[in-house]
Amino acid sequence: MSDRLDRFQFELSTAAVAATIATHFDHLPAWLWIPLAIMLPLRAWARRNGRKAATAWIRLPLTLLLFGLVFLNFGNVFGREPGSVLGCGLLALKMLEAERVRDARVAMGFSAFVLMSALLFNQSMLFTALVSAVLVFVLAGLLALQPAPIDTSQRLRTVLRLSALLLGCGLPLAAASFVLMPRLGGPLWGTAGGGMARTGLSDHMEPGALTELLIDESPALRVDFEATPPPPAERYFRAVVLSNFDGASWTRERGLYGGPPEEARASGAATEYSITLEATDQRWLPALDLPMSAPDNARLASDRTLVANEPVAQPRQYRVRSATRFVLAPTLTRNQRSRALALPEGFDSRTRDLARQWRAESPDDDAIVQKALAFFHASFTYTLSPPPLARDSIDDFLFATQSGFCEHYSSAFVVLMRAAGIPARVVTGYQGGWWNASGGYLLVRQSDAHAWAETWSEGRGWQRVDPTAAVSPARIERGAAEANGALGWSQADWLRGLRNQFDFANRLWTQGIVRFDALRQKGLLTEFGIANVNHGDLLLTLSAVLAGLMLIATAWVMWTRNTPRGDALDRAWERLGRRLARAGIVRDPYEGPLDLLRRTRASAPAAARSLEPLVGEYVALRYGTSIVDPQRVSAFARAVRRFRLQRRVNSRS
């Protein structure tokens, strides 16, 4: 057999490489995936038209260029992001020189490695299923490279079926290794950035900063309440407090990670719950207003938000006890009050004039708050696609565009309050969520990201004011995307229910698979009587399980040893014999095909006429040629499958 790749082998290998690279599409830079999307199809087209592989004078500069671009963009070639970019680029470059079977085997082996690395970015159930499907494709590429010929014209269908069977046979071994292989203290992919880290909420806010989140339907966090959950209007999950404004953007005040938290006095019963937060690569932990204490490996910041000791690089679960009725910071120092009133000079003069007018009309802070809310309610609209704003963004929003979403309203409201002499600040987090009745938990998506305001008054402390609710009450009850109609048909009740059911399954996947660490492993094995788990016990148990699986496989092979042997032609002939036997024409073990046909002519002439072309084709294929044509064998097998005898005959008469 020639070592040169035939057309089917090359194109299947190229397709497997392309599918592998596609699993990294979400994080590949445009300067790489655009050339790859052009290069791989162009290479397949060129080879089909008889063009030779790229020479070393082309491949070497491209390889050096790839290394250079990776280094310029990431600062090194090591790590999760630069490593995956480099791997995808080298894999595609390998196909430029692939002309022989050994080249394609190397590419398929490297594809398996690059495919595995995609799980460092996303470990959701759906994405894992996608990776498994691509793995079937890669295994099919390896099977197509084997020296044994495939005796069928449907090569793609055959190798895909065999690769899926091989992957299925490996699942018991994979499951045993997953449960019993000794683990580190964290999950299997517990290195930094091991989960699919979505940026989520940021520590700064400017017009348009939340737009991507508000149309992102991916889960942000899931909440399990010990008792009845609060109503939708009280589901404010506080994450980041933004106090500094430079005229364009809001940022978090420095130094809030340290120092004592603001004084808080709860009134009424506290709410206890646990949150499973998706990976964000950020340190803040959203919590229902207002967290009274910090969970493990986290602390209360000075503004009484929760801050993790380390970035949330993988899904994290934490328990919180919060108060929904409270008094926060009933007194402020002179310095704190000054910071909560600060505004940059030279910006938004019309806004300042309006606030001073309100102050002149009323000395009461509550009245000024109501004036601002009534001002928004009168002529403003809620939209996720607002027009861009000029340099004086607050003036432009209040007196020109008058349309926007939560970050526009909260920002403008706080500037108005500060200009009127009322301490105020912006808070970002999540509001609302969908109650998943199947799992009994609250699902909060990225599209539930929200920004609101807090104003301060003597004795009552910081109080939440949501100016967005004055413009669009539907946003508070049903969420940003639905209130704006941005998702249309995707918000249908039946689709929402189906999506929530899938989220319940994905949650079980996250808890049972993604977050399966050493502690959970110990708890699982304790139920089977293994109390004190150590690495030796785990390896011994794993060895026993593997030995058991081998015994089961051996027994299955021995049990099925009477399965018809031979090549595809012999198997088709055996099938024909079984069909004849069911019709009463039993072939003796020593009887050849021509003898069988002669006996059938004597006992059942009608059956012999149907049987004669099949016997003639079998004799021609088995005895008439030294090299069997796979296409003729496949056609013979199909003819046997279509062969029927309607009447039972007596072949011995």
DSSP per residue, 470-539: HH-HHHHHH-HHHHHT-SGGGG-HHHHHHHHHHHHHHHHHIIIIIT--HHHHHHHHHTTT--S--HHHHH
SS3 273: strand
**What mean pLDDT do residues 239-257 have?**
85
- Percent of the chain's residues with pLDDT above 90: 30
Distance of CA 97 to the CA centre of its chain: 33
Give the pLDDT score at 162: 87
Cα gap 315→86, rounded to integer Å? 27
In terms of average pLDDT, the best of 414-428, 583-597, 635-649 is: 414-428
pLDDT at 208 over 80: no
pLDDT-derived band of residue 58, with 50, 70 and 90 as boundaries? confident
**What mean pLDDT do residues 28-45 have?**
89
The CA-based angle 107-113-119, given to 5 degrees, is: 140
Give the pLDDT score at 321: 93
Give the pLDDT score at 522: 64
Give the pLDDT score at 47: 85
pLDDT-derived band of residue 496, with 50, 70 and 90 as boundaries? low
Give the pLDDT score at 194: 38
Give the pLDDT score at 527: 62
Residue with the two structure tokens 């003898």:
595
Give the pLDDT score at 181: 72
Q: What is the reported pTM?
A: 0.66
pLDDT-derived band of residue 171, with 50, 70 and 90 as boundaries? confident
**What mean pLDDT do residues 454-473 have?**
91
More confident residue, 8 or 484: 8
SS3 43: helix
Q: Quick: pLDDT tens for 627-637.
A: 778 888 888 88
pLDDT-derived band of residue 188, with 50, 70 and 90 as boundaries? very low
In the numeric block, which tokens belong to residue 596? 């069988």
Give the pLDDT score at 493: 59
**395 — phi, psi (to 5°)?**
-60, -45
Give the pLDDT score at 51: 78
Distance of CA 418 to the CA centre of its chain: 42
**What mean pLDDT do residues 204-221 have?**
76
Q: Quick: pLDDT tens for 350-404.
A: 999 999 999 999 889 999 999 999 999 998 998 888 888 888 999 999 999 999 8
Q: Looking at 104-118, 495-509, 529-543, 614-628, which range is the least confident one?
A: 529-543
